[in-house]
Amino acid sequence: RAGDLYPMAFAETLAAQEQEVTESHRHMEFEIETRNSAGAPQHFLALRFPVFNDDNEMVGIGALHTDNTARKNAEEELAQQKNILEAVFEHMEPGVVLYDKDDRIAACNPSYIEQTGLPDGDTAIGMSNFEVISYLARKGQYGPGEPDEIAARVYANARQGGMNEHSMDERVDGRIIDN
């Protein structure tokens, strides 16, 4: 009996899982959290599966348990670091935009949206660099002239310099955008 090997709460969890597999005749995965002898959380991934004989009768339940405490701890640490990074990114004064390998906005902070006048961040996500430049050219941010020609020129200049090269754009309103 599981209660002879494990703490009662853990044994009851195992019994409930076995009952679920018995009734469904399907394999199931479960995550189990318990405490080790020192009282620290311990996480297991448990796989329970029915075992059938040659007549396709269920004759038992197989089980595999994997201690994934280290993975769970790493996931929690990563989630905390991600939350900190997101908070810093969201509250940075400089506008920050990140483009993906396809030259589309993957992320941008509220300051970037405010500084460029782009639609809200959710709308901006996925816009190509050329679409951003075209949008800004239509708003007159690169000065007077035909917006499509200006956008093509600004985009070509940006591409010619390479995405990793430092450049600065002066906008009509006098702001300097450090790229």
The pLDDT of residue 179 is: 52
Dist. CA 32–CA 173, nearest whole Å = 59
- Length of the chain counted residue by residue: 179
pLDDT above 90 as % of the chain: 55
**Tens digits of residue pLDDT in 101-122:** 999 999 999 999 988 888 776 7
| Cα separation, 120 vs 110, whole angstroms | 8
Residue 68 in this model has a pLDDT that exceeds 70: yes
Instruction: Calculate the alpha carbon distances from 178 to 26, 48, 92, 165 in Å.
Output: 59, 57, 15, 11
Concatenate the DSSP letters of all residues of 146-165 into one string. Answer: -HHHHHHHHHHHHHHH-TTS
Mean pLDDT, the chain, as a whole number? 86
Model pTM score: 0.56
CA distance 47 to 24: 14
Do residues 143 and 150 lie in contact, with contact meaning Cβ atoms separated by under 8 Å? yes
Task: Please list, in sequence order, all residues whose beta carbon lies within 8 angstroms of the beta carbon of residue 79, skipping any fewer than 6 positions away.
Answer: none
CB 2 within 8 A of CB 11: yes
Provide the pLDDT for residue 164: 47
Cα 84-86-87 angle, rounded to 5 deg? 65
Confidence category of residue 131, pLDDT binned at 50, 70, 90: very high
